[in-house]
């Protein structure tokens, strides 16, 4: 069996409850697993420059071998596009507003508006963390063509917005029998996007506010996805959110504890960041 690369991505650092992010960093240190953190430059309109505790923790993450990439600007559901259908289904109020009148939402998705947000966010990264991220994930994986065009024009190299298996979001709604298939409109591995970027799809989200009773079911979902990716010779890319898997919701950490142990038990598995994986895995056409 060829080596399998395991990529753990985690969204929304820079936002709420930094103490839960610190807990997650502690967990990863014990597990010796690097993560790719999609970081919000100005969560709720407040720049990282105004959040010294977050700057401290993000520097710690970098020092411990994790990577930080760009995640929206202020982080709203429709900030860079329209969320996919399975994401909208877990946000019924936002979905209803969009369905009633989509024009106010799509009016904010011009390339000029999105470019300005990316530039402002990138400047915050430069001032507070000393570098420019080359990867991007939109809040709520809400995308549009103008987003990709803006990213390409600004020199971003890759994005990670497409979801291979929507069942993780069906599980969030406790719809375990949905039978949602893997997406067939794009490959479950990095590929060249028409915009000129590399798109690195994520398999699913497995640890959204779980209790102990959820651990077995969600571990099995993640295990099936991992096994399928491994059998195909692909990397496995997981999405997670630090605040939804720590503190009183630390059942999510137990899912990953089991998943990491399972992956290691198979042998020939290496834990890497998303950038490291992309440096090794040649994108498909």
* Tens-digit pLDDT profile for residues 20-66: 999 999 999 999 999 999 999 999 999 999 999 999 999 999 999 99
Average pLDDT of the chain is 97
The dihedral built from the CA positions of residue 107, 76, 137 and 41, taken in this order, carries a sign that is positive
Which pLDDT belongs to residue 20? 98
Nearest to 239 by CA among 94, 140, 148, 153: 140
| pLDDT tens column, 127-149 | 999 999 999 999 999 999 999 99
Tell me if 194 sits within 8 A of 145, measured CB to CB.
no
pLDDT digits (tens, 9 = 90+) for 53-105: 999 999 999 999 999 999 999 999 999 999 999 999 999 999 999 999 999 99
Pairing assessment for the beta strands 204-205 and 67-70 based on DSSP bridges: unpaired
- Asked whether the beta carbons of 164 and 199 are under 8 A apart, the reply is no
Q: How far apart are CA 167 and CA 182, in angstroms?
A: 8
Task: Work out the end-to-end distance of the chain between its first and last CA atoms, rounded to an integer number of angstroms.
Answer: 24
pLDDT at 282: 82
The predicted pLDDT at position 285 comes to 66
| Per-residue pLDDT at 284 exceeds 90 | no
Write the DSSP symbol of residue 198.
E
The per-residue pLDDT for range 240-251, each reduced to its tens digit, is: 999 999 999 999
pLDDT score of 1 more than 80: no
Alpha-carbon distance 53 to 15, whole Å?
A: 11
Which residues, in sequence order, are bridge partners of residue 271?
A: 6
Q: How far is CA 244 from its chain centroid?
A: 13
Contact of 29 with 63, CB cutoff 8 Å: no
CA contacts within 13 A on the Cβ side of 59: 13
Tell me the H-state helices in the chain. Answer: 18-31, 52-63, 85-88, 92-100, 103-106, 111-129, 145-153, 167-172, 215-232, 251-266, 274-280
């Amino acid at each position: 069996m060829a080596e399998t690369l395991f990529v753990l991505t985690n969204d929304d650092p820079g936002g709420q409850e930094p103490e839960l992010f610190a807990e997650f960093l502690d967990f990863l240190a014990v597990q010796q697993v690097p993560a790719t953190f999609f970081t919000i430059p100005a969560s709720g309109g407040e720049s990282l420059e105004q959040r010294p505790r977050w700057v401290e923790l993000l520097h710690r993450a970098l020092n411990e071998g994790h990577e930080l990439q760009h995640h929206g600007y202020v982080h709203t559901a429709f900030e860079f596009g329209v969320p996919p259908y399975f994401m909208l289904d877990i946000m019924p109020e936002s979905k209803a507003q969009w369905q009633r009148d989509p024009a106010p939402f799509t009016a904010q998705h011009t390339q000029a508006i999105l470019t300005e947000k990316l530039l402002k966010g990138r400047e915050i990264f430069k001032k507070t963390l000393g570098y420019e991220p080359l990867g991007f994930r939109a809040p709520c994986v809400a995308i549009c063509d103008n987003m990709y065009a803006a990213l390409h024009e600004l020199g971003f190299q890759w994005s990670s917005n497409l979801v291979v298996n929507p069942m993780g979001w069906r599980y969030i709604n406790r719809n375990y029998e949905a039978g949602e298939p893997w997406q067939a409109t794009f490959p479950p591995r990095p590929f060249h996007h028409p915009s000129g970027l590399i798109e690195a799809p994520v398999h699913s989200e497995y640890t959204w506010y779980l209790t102990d009773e959820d651990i077995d079911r969600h571990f099995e979902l993640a295990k099936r996805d991992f096994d399928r990716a491994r059998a195909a010779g692909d990397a496995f890319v997981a999405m997670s959110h630090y605040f939804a898997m720590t503190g009183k919701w630390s059942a999510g950490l137990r899912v990953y504890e089991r998943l990491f142990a399972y992956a290691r038990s198979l042998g020939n598995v290496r834990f890497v960041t998303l950038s490291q994986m992309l440096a090794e895995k040649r994108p498909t056409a």
